[in-house]
Structure 1
Amino acid sequence: MKILLLADSNSSHTVKWATSLAERSYEIILFSLTENVTDIYKKYESIVVITAGIPAIKKLSEEADISKIIYLKSIPLVKKIIKKYKPDIVHSHYASSYGLIGALSNFHPFIVSVWGSDVFNFPNRSLIHRKILKYNLSKSDKILSTSLIMAREVEKYSTKSIVIIPFGVNLQRFKPLYIKNIFNEKDIVIGTIKSLEDKYGIDLLLKSFKKLKKKYPSLSLKLLIVGKGSKEKKLKELAQSLGIMNDTIFTGFIEHEEIHKYHNMLTISLFLSNESFGVSVIEASACEKPVIVSNIGGLPEVVENDVTGIIVDPFNIEQIIQAIEKLIFNRELRIWLGKNGRERVKKLYNWEDNVKQMDDLYGKVFENFRINPGKENAV
């Protein structure tokens, strides 16, 4: 089967979908608005990458002003791609930008995957944004979501059925490993693996760490912040002003193929963010790390409180500190939560199972559309 993916080629999520489907004998045509800066697709003869050539450093934001929708200019190109490659299915990853390109290409069957900001933020920008989202969803033959909370948000804009396919992890890569690293055995390493943006609450983690250092000066506490983002300078300045820079490491950008190593460097993983689905959380759990997550967004959906991790109010510093203390001084609890977390990931978020779900869905959507063209697929 031949699939035209409309998605950001540089996203680790897109890389996983495209390469995993190619490994299942799919032919993948990947259209990306931004120029491709990863070499991984070159390993696959069955993946063709075509871009609109927008520099990756100028990657379009889902928050961009609607008057600057550069992607509208890409619709004729996508129509040419469809005419040349004759895909069986067009699948947009993001209901806003790539969703609009897919909707206006007027190809069916057409699948839309919602990712988060496209349904939580984009429609709140203006009435026009809301209408665009509704239009894109109305043109789809199937809507996919990675989480229940995001599916419920989509229901505000569409009455169509929504299929939930979680974005799982590769359990062969994300597993407990001994990693020889920059930390000493006596170090208690607290940290997070997220983009350095406001919504991920990394400033709250820095402030919590400062209080812990002051409260327990004899403990060898270290803070590891893995990732890059627009707030990197601001967060480093905050760490400096708090006097914790000597015990804090900012790694900057790390290739996704190396991320599992950094999860295994951590003693305790924290995710004080507001997001629709916590891929980094399940990666940490797969590595048998105890996790502390916020009680907002989709994170409570991927963590069972006091069984696989601890759920906290991210704006309550004292509550965050209490949760960290609980894990610092109870090694057995850390191990128990970590093992429970991996078992939960095996059951619900095994990437191989998720790819099989997508494979099955593609087959059903294609067959149903072949039998009943023009009707929504009841999958």
Structure 2
Amino acid sequence: MKVLLVAPIHSPIVKRLISALEGSGIELIIASHNAAKEVGVIDLGPCRSMFSYLCFWKINKLVKEHQPDVVHAHVLNHYGLMAAFQNRPLLVALWGSDVMLSTKAGAFITRKLFRVINWFVLKRADYIHTSGKHVAKEAESQCKGVKKKINTFYWGFPLPELELDVLNSTYQNLSDEFELTSEKNIVFPRGLGNVYNPEGAAKIINYLMTKGIKAKRIVVLRGFANEDCVRKFTSLVDIDKITFINRLLDPQELYALYKNTCMHFSIPHSDSLGGGVIEPALVGSLPVLSDLPSYRDFLKESKGLLLTEYTYKELDVIYNKITDDPNIESDLALSKLTSKYSLNSVVNNFNHIYKVMSDNESS
């Protein structure tokens, strides 16, 4: 099976997807914007604006040259649009905000433009996948006929487990660099982009710092946030009293951090079911989640806290959980989570879709 994967190569979830698919025997041709320094990735040039995704002839050329069985494009109105004009079976990954926010935010003409783009790509795609049922439902409202070709499953991947000596040395290196404590951390892993609600994160952090959380350390990851987002966040909290990780962590470092985390927060305004929820939970951290449909579904099968408002009453529940429960992670149904969100489970889903698409093309 040969697949042309068109996706943002700098995204950690995309890099893990590549590793998992190649490990299962899929032959991948990988293309991305801003990939000039990436080994084994075809560079589509710099992404200067939305107009960069109209350069569909770049994808058409790759299809003609490599003759893939399937084209797998990520983000509906980005690489999905770019790949919508070629003649091979097209699988499009919906990331969440591309469907949920793009047609509802900004100026009237912008919303209408994205609605047309979304409709066109949804109509053109042979199959679609997403991690959230509510994202699938919204996609169905934007284009009739989507229901019969959309698949809903979590498609992130667990972080690679570390041997005890590697785990300890990795965490020690992080501690030396970022002054982490030996106690379990409280982590905000989603980054400081606007969609991830940094204002809400600041409210929670300030509340916890006012109450006092003993020896535990609050850790905030920058993620892919730009300098303006970072400056805004640092104006809302006392940055000297928390650990701010101002660079991307590699999978090994993330695993070590999450293994030493008792609670993590994922409180975005819009999301499907991101790795920032699942990855820490798979190693024992208790999730605190914003009130989104995919998160409510997740909490039906796993323990965690749903944050609907930033009232003292709700924040007190979080604080009491941190301070009164020394074994927060024991609340999680880890065996069930590990089975459902395993690497094999996700890869099998993709292999099944690829085979169906290829077989349909051949018949």
Query: Which category of TM-score, normalised to the shorter sequence, fits these structures?
Result: 0.7 to 0.9
2:273 aligned partner, one-letter code: F
Corresponding residue to 2:140 among 155, 159, 165: 155
The one-letter code matched in structure 2 to 1:165 is: F
Once the two structures are TM-superposed, the CA of residue 211 in structure 1 deviates from its matched residue by 2.6
Partner residue, 2:126: 141
SS state of the match for residue 346, structure 1?
Answer: helix
- Corresponding residue for residue 233 of structure 2: 235
Check the 8 A contact 2:157/2:342 in 1, yes or no: yes
Question: Structure 2 matches for 1:58-137, cutoff 5 A?
Answer: 60=49, 64=50, 69-72=51-54, 74-105=55-86, 107-124=87-104, 125-137=110-122
CA distance in structure 1 between the aligned counterparts of 2:59 and 2:159, rounded to whole angstroms: 35
TM-score (ref. length: structure 1): 0.82
Within-5 A mapping of 1:290-369: 290-304=286-300, 308-316=303-311, 318-332=313-327, 334-338=328-332, 340=333, 342-369=334-361
How many Å apart are 1:175 and its aligned residue?
10
- Indicate conservation of the 8 Å contact 2:7/2:32, yes or no: yes
Q: Using the TM superposition, give the Cα deviation of residue 85 of structure 1 relative to its aligned residue in structure 2, in angstroms.
A: 0.8
CA distance in structure 2 between the partners assigned to 1:324 and 1:215 by the alignment: 8
1:324 to partner: Cα distance: 2.7
SS at match of 1:267: strand
| Secondary structure in 1 matching 2:45 | strand
Shift in CA distance, 33/83, structure 1 to aligned 2, threshold 3 Å: same
C-alpha distance in 2, partners of 1:301/1:270?
17
Q: Which residue of 1 aligns with 2:4?
A: 4
State how 1:159-178 maps to structure 2 within 5 Å.
159-160=145-146, 161=148, 162-170=150-158, 172-173=160-161
Whether 1:225 aligns to 2:206 is no
1:293: how far off? 1.1
- Is contact 1:200-1:272 (8 Å) kept? yes
Partner of 2:249: 255
Tell me the residue number matched to 1:280.
276
Alignment partners' CA distance in 2, 1:114 and 1:280? 17
What secondary structure is seen at the aligned counterpart in 2 of 1:361? helix
Give the Cα separation in 2 of the matches to 1:155 and 1:316: 35
Per-residue CA shift, 1:32-59, capped at 9, x if unaligned? 1223444xxx4xxxxx42122206xx5x
Structure 1 gap ranges (5+)? 43-47, 372-379
Paired positions, count: 341
Seq. identity, %: 20
Q: Matched residues in 2 for 1:114 and 1:273: separation?
A: 17
**Alignment TM-score, normalising by the size of structure 2:** 0.85
**1:247 alignment partner AA:** K
Separation (CA, whole Å) in 1 of partners of 2:329 and 2:216: 19
1:375: which partner in 2? none
CA RMSD, Structure 1 to Structure 2 (Å)? 2.4
Q: Show structure 2 runs of 5+ residues with no match.
A: 105-109
Distance in 2 of aligned mates of 1:302 and 1:37: 37
Amino acid at match of 2:88: H
Structure 2 CA distance for partners of 1:211 and 1:20, relative to 1, 3 Å: closer
